[in-house]
Amino acid sequence: MTNALELDRVEVVYDDFHALKGVSLAVQPGEAFGLVGESGSGKSTILRAIAGLAPVASGTINIDGQSLSKRRDKAFYRSVQMVFQDPYGSLHPRQTVDRLLQEPLAIHGIDDQERRIVRALEEVGLGTGFRFRYPHQLSGGQRQRVAIARALIVEPSILLLDEPTSALDASVQAEVLNLLETVRKARKLTFLLVSHDLAVVAHMCDRLMVMQHGEEVEQLLSTELSARKARQPYTQKLIEASTGFRR
Amino acid sequence: MSDVAMSRREWLLSERPQSRLQARLGRAYMSWQRFAANRLALIGLAIIIMLLLVAAFAPVLAPYSPVAGDLRQGLKPPGWEHWMGTDDQGRDILSRIIYGSRLTLYVVVLVAILAAPIGLLVGTVAGYAGGWIDTVLSRITDIFLAFPKLILALAFVAALGPGIENAVIAIAITSWPPYARIARAETLTVRNSDYIAAVRLMGASPARIVVRHIMPLCISSLIVRVTLDMAGIILTAAGLGFLGLGAQPPLPEWGAMIASGRRFILDQWWVAAMPGMAILIVSLGFNLLGDGLRDALDPRGAGQ
Amino acid sequence: MSALLTVEDLRVAFHTRTGTVDAVRGVSFELGRERLGIVGESGSGKSQTGRAIMGLTPPHAEVTARKLDFDGIDLTNISARARRDLRGDRIAMILQDPKYSLDPVMTIGRQIVESIQAHEKIGKSEASKRALAMLESVQIRDPARVYDLYPHEVSGGMGQRAMIAMMLIANPQLLIADEPTSALDVTVQLDVLRILDQLVTERGMGLIFISHDLRLVSSFCDRVIVMYAGRIVEQLKASELNQAQHPYTRGLLDCMPRLGAADRHPLPTLDRKPEWAL
């Protein structure tokens, strides 16, 4: 079986900063893969490199066995979509939800817009009452639902999730995580989820990679993480820290 | 009555608009409320509406012909017959100012239509593209900015020949660079934002991103700036007219009127003072309006 | 033991064009020399409670309280000047992101020296000696180097330590920490908390720890206040968190994914009852 997503020794270099130092990973179709690390570990850079938003210096990225060229084509953007961390920053402040959802359909020349927009809103649990609102009329959780609807409306097979719930309250986080699980099941999506929260990754993903300073620390199964069976001391330290303060 | 008004207000301020139109109107209404909260801005708006009405109904309002004078009636001080007096050729100054409002509007509107889009396009493209495109466009902008506006306009008019159309072109050529600067600065602040990244991730072309997503964000600050610049444009046009390079006699352009009144400024002050007053009031109107618009259209204010 | 801070029926209201927003609606509690956690989600009024005690509420808001008493001083009745003198001297506050609360054009050392000199008459060399000692006490390994750095030159964890050093230099009796570690990485977070814990214990301060993270707060504080929609829904001992009574507190605890616990798919969500907000 070909991998849905494959990275081979990918390096990303910003002007004088080596953000990613040769990272390789493979994700199977329908799998949920997690990336864990602290700030500056390069976990978000991986998503940006796949999406074509970060300068890849060397290495290859394959989607469904096809190597990506430097310039992504439209077909790529129909199969890979991304949800950003900050729901306040990822929606255009001057566009209604309707307009936000219409844009991807217009770009890809998909007709049947009316029905698709209504269906997309229903899928993420927002009624049509939200359709003509501006982002500032929505709460953080509602914005993130709109962002998910926008990503799903072009029917991608791979969803890149960059800390999708870290800006949300705990109770809203649970709702959004549940929503993501539901759509993943319904659409057989492949997830690449970035988070600093080990519990979130363990809950959502099958496998994960721990990162530090732009490099892989180790890859392990979520079950191993939950059982606290990490091989590397850095992972152990992260697990320790996530349990809270101890006097 | 008040019942209907209330429900209409509620319809506009609804948190759950039911259609595109309602969402748009609701947003406009919010902006209008912010604008209307500012007294001075309303005064500015009133002045500009007055200017529009005067220009539209000039033939009805003007008591005399703006061009034909009666030499026997020359240089009459303001009085019942001629409210603002007459000039050296015996023409009624009030009528000339009323007709002159058309020229003023003509200049202001044409300059805005020509200069603002050029500035917007140059600025957003430079800001979004970056790299050598940015360098080239920004340096061109800098070159234009390096000259004083009036001097540059003078040079263009001298090359193109005097006349009101050429004055408009000259002013437009000299007034787009600040708009390009503003648009570029706004573009730089949003180009790396997540929502622009999200549009890129949908596969939108750079042209589409600039035109449909970045330009709308720049437009409000540009409108504010253009409105505030209107006063400057009127003054530049008047300056060109004053120097004899703008509107040619006998056109009742305000600047040219001041120029011709200059000769009698000590004895017959009204010839120069009346058009000067008109320029002052209209400039003030545009400035007040611009200040109000800045508060009303500020995108940062819209969210809170 | 008498209370260090007594708050009775504290209310904060914001008057806006579209109406009045009641951010805090009648909050009462007492604080001794202990660690008190205030927990709630965004919009629960937890930060506004802290700011009202500190006297940092924005000017267009209206703060009222039946009683707001700090160590015998009635905070509702004193002048703005007296309030300012208290602030930084006897009451200090640490904010979420050190980037925004440190002056970007002044070195860290100078900022600490300035805050010493603002509160007592002291020579420059004496003050800088105290500043260095304070930086050392927040476990900055090379205090002399950090002393001369600008805020943008240090990491988030280091900045927050410097902030703590600056706030604790005047030996305040009450420290209000508003999400002091939320912007930090988990491993750094614990270091900063450990420093805070040690200093608070050594100096016998009262601490109000405001956070959205119920689990973190309960592991750090002695007592926890849970806020919802501007009110306190529950007060309990941190050790007894698992016996929380109010459905909101229980819901908050329940809806977080837990490492190692039996995995629940889907996660239980919070069913907000309108009567909680009454």
ipTM of this predicted complex?
A: 0.88
Burial class (CB in 10 A: 0-12, 13-18, 19+), A191: buried
Q: Look at chain C and report how many structural domains it folds into.
A: 2
Is the per-residue pLDDT at C1 higher than 70? no
| Residues in chain A closer than 8 A to C268 (CB atoms) | 174
The pLDDT value recorded for residue C266 is: 84
Are C128 and C85 in a shared domain? no
Per-residue pLDDT at C98 exceeds 80: no
Of A74, A82, A92, the CB nearest to B203: A74
**How near does any CA of chain B get to the CA of A73, in Å?**
7
Mean pLDDT comparison of A88-92, A190-194, B150-154, highest-scoring range: A190-194
Residue pair A202/A225 in contact by the 8 Å Cβ criterion: yes
Buried/exposed B116-153: b ≥16 CB within 10 Å, e otherwise: bebbbbbbbbbbbbeeeebeebbeebeebeeeebbebb
Query: Are the Cβ atoms of C219 and A246 closer than 8 angstroms?
Result: yes
On whether the CB atoms of residues B87 and B74 are closer than 8 A, the answer is yes
Measured CA angle at B288 (ends B284, B293), to 5 deg: 145
* A170 part of contact set with chain C, CB < 8 Å: yes
The model's pLDDT over A97-147, given as tens digits with 9 standing for 90+, comes to 999 999 999 999 988 898 999 999 999 988 888 888 888 888 889 999 999
* Closest-approach residue (CA) in chain B for A53: B197
Say if residue C18's pLDDT is above 80: no
Q: Which of the residue ranges A106-110, C70-74, C99-103, C122-126 would you say has the lowest mean pLDDT?
A: C99-103
A5-14, strands of its sheet edge to edge:
A17-27, A5-14, A56-63, A66-67
Set of chain C residues whose Cβ sits within 8 Å of the Cβ of B33: 17
pLDDT category at B2 given cuts 50, 70, 90 is very low
What is the model's pLDDT at position A232? 93
Distance (Å) from the alpha carbon of A72 to chain C's nearest alpha carbon = 33
Last residue of a domain, one of C138, C153, C171: C171
Tokens of B77: 């001080």
Residue A112 within any structural domain of the chain: yes
Claim to verify: residue C149 and residue C62 sit in the same structural domain: no
Range of the structural domain that residue A112 is part of:
5-242
pLDDT value, residue B4: 55
Q: Hey, is the C-beta of B16 within 8 angstroms of any chain A C-beta?
A: yes
* Subunits close to C (at least 3 CB pairs below 8 A): A, B
Question: In this structure, is the dihedral angle defined by the CA atoms of residues A97, A99, A104 and A105, taken in order, positive or negative?
Answer: positive
Write the burial class of residue A147 (CB in 10 Å: 0-12 exposed, 13-18 middle, 19+ buried): buried
Q: Which of residues 214-243 of C touch B (CB under 8 A)?
A: none
Please answer yes or no on whether A103 and B197 come within 8 Å at the CB atom: no
Confidence of residue B3 (pLDDT cuts 50, 70, 90): low
Six token digits for residue B188:
């730089």
Closest of A182, A134, A125 to residue A159, by C-alpha: A182
Residue B302's pLDDT band, with cuts at 50, 70 and 90, is very low
C159 CB-near residues (< 8 Å, 6+ apart): C98, C99, C102, C151
pLDDT bracket for residue A234 (50, 70, 90): very high
Residue A45, pLDDT score = 92
- Which residues in chain C are contacts of B37 at CB distance < 8 A? 17
d(CA B227, CA B230): 5
Residues C141, C164, single domain; the answer is yes
Cβ–Cβ gap B199/A92 under 8 Å = yes
* Domain contains A247: no
Total count of domains within chain A: 1
The answer on C19 and C125 residing in a single domain is no
pLDDT of residue A152: 93
Q: If you count residue pairs, one on A and one on B, with CB atoms under 8 Å apart, how many are there?
A: 87
**Which whole number is the average pLDDT over B89-116?**
90
pLDDT at position B177: 93
Mean pLDDT value across residues C170-195? 85
The pLDDT score that the predictor gives to residue B10 is 78
pLDDT at B18 over 50: yes
Task: Give the per-residue pLDDT at B298.
Answer: 65
Identify the weakest region by mean pLDDT among B174-188, B203-217, C81-95.
C81-95
- Flag whether A188 is in a domain: yes
Q: Do A93 and B208 touch (CB under 8 A)?
A: no
Report the pLDDT value the prediction gives residue B27, as an integer from 0 to 100.
81
Tokens 């009641």 — which residue? Answer: C22
On average, the pLDDT of chain A sits at 90
Whether pLDDT at B1 is above 50: no
* CATH code where residue A180 lies: 3.40.50.300
Q: Strand locations in chain A, DSSP E?
A: 5-14, 17-27, 32-37, 56-63, 66-67, 80-83, 158-162, 190-195, 207-212, 215-221
CATH number of the domain located at residue range(s) B27-303 in this protein: 1.10.3720.10
Report how far Cα A127 is from the mean position of its chain's Cα atoms. 24
Indicate the range of B38-52, B122-136, C47-61 predicted with least confidence.
Answer: C47-61
Domain that holds residue C152: 99-171
Taking residues B222-248, report their average pLDDT.
Answer: 85
Domain residue extents for chain B: 27-303
Residues C159 and C228 in one domain: no
Mean pLDDT of chain C: 86
Instruction: Express each pLDDT in C43-71 by its tens digit.
Output: 899 999 999 998 888 888 889 999 899 98
The single residue listed with the structure tokens 């660079």 is: B177
Q: What is the pLDDT of residue B6?
A: 57
Decide which of C125, C143, C171 is a domain's last residue.
C171
| C60 and C166, same domain (yes or no) | no
CB C58 within 8 A of CB B304: no
pLDDT digits (tens, 9 = 90+) for C194-227: 888 888 888 888 999 999 888 888 888 999 999 9
- In percent, the amount of chain B with pLDDT more than 90 equals 33
Same domain, C78 and C202: yes
Peptide bond into C266 cis (omega under 30): yes
Any chain B CB within 8 A of the CB of C17? yes
Residues of chain B with Cβ-Cβ distance to A107 below 8 Å are 202-204, 208
Q: What is the average pLDDT across B42-55?
A: 94
- Assess whether pLDDT exceeds 70 at residue B218: yes
Residue C29: which region, alpha, beta or left (left: phi > 0; alpha: psi -120 to 50)?
beta
Asked whether the predicted pLDDT for residue C109 surpasses 50, the reply is yes
Query: Residue A105 has what pLDDT?
Result: 94
